[in-house]
Amino acid sequence: MCERQALRPSIMAKLDILTYPDPRLHTVAKPVAVVDDRIRKLVADMAETMYEAPGIGLAATQVDVHEQVVVIDISETRDELQVFINPEIVWSSNTRKVAEEGCLSVPEVYDRVERPDHVRVRALNEKGEPFEIEAGDLLAVCIQHEMDHLKGKVFVEYLSPLKLQRIKSKLVKLHKRERTRM
């Protein structure tokens, strides 16, 4: 079972989150060779970024680090951080569920995506220890969503071409509006 604790090192940095359709979001992440202090600092920085955004999950790809690292906290109290390094889905249910998803890299956009409703994941925690976890409901959706980022895929790419074009147009307008405010 994954340790569920908040990482709160004394020196953390909020990271910049890439916004769709930034091409860097399509970079496939490489496995982490060794879980060391650099990776633990990345985990802490990603957790701070996710909590401040606010979000419930963040993949390293979203902060322009192309290594297989994911942080998730679906708890109401925001104190049950789960870390997945080199995550691998080892089993997924045949039953599927449609759930509404959003993404820190696709601000103000929510839509329904169909995914397996249960998964079993093998990964390393922030100490480099292997674990397996079976997840359903929101956690299963979140794990699959974040693992898609590690493969260079953003949730809106599951939608129809027409919806995808509308989302791209909306985000381009949002970026222009933000630039004119600066």
Instruction: Identify the domain containing residue 122 by its residue range.
Output: 23-181
Q: Binding site, residues?
A: 103, 145, 149
Residue 42 lies in a domain: yes
**3-state DSSP assignment of residue 106:** strand
Residue 56 lies in a domain: yes
Residue 142 lies in a domain: yes
Q: Tens of pLDDT along 82-132?
A: 999 999 999 999 999 999 999 999 998 999 999 999 999 999 999 999 999
Q: Binding site for Fe cation, residues?
A: 103, 145, 149
Residue 3 lies in a domain: no
CATH code for the domain of 48: 3.90.45.10
What's the structural domain count of the chain?
1
Smallest CA-to-CA distance from 35 within 148, 160, 135, 130 is with: 130
Q: Is the pLDDT of residue 2 over 50?
A: no
Residue 8 lies in a domain: no
- Active-site residue numbers? 146
Please give the Cα distance from 130 to 136 (Å, whole number).
Answer: 20
Q: List C-alpha distances in Å: 160 to 8, 112, 133, 168.
A: 40, 11, 32, 12
Residue 16 lies in a domain: no
Q: Tens of pLDDT along 62-79?
A: 999 999 999 999 999 999
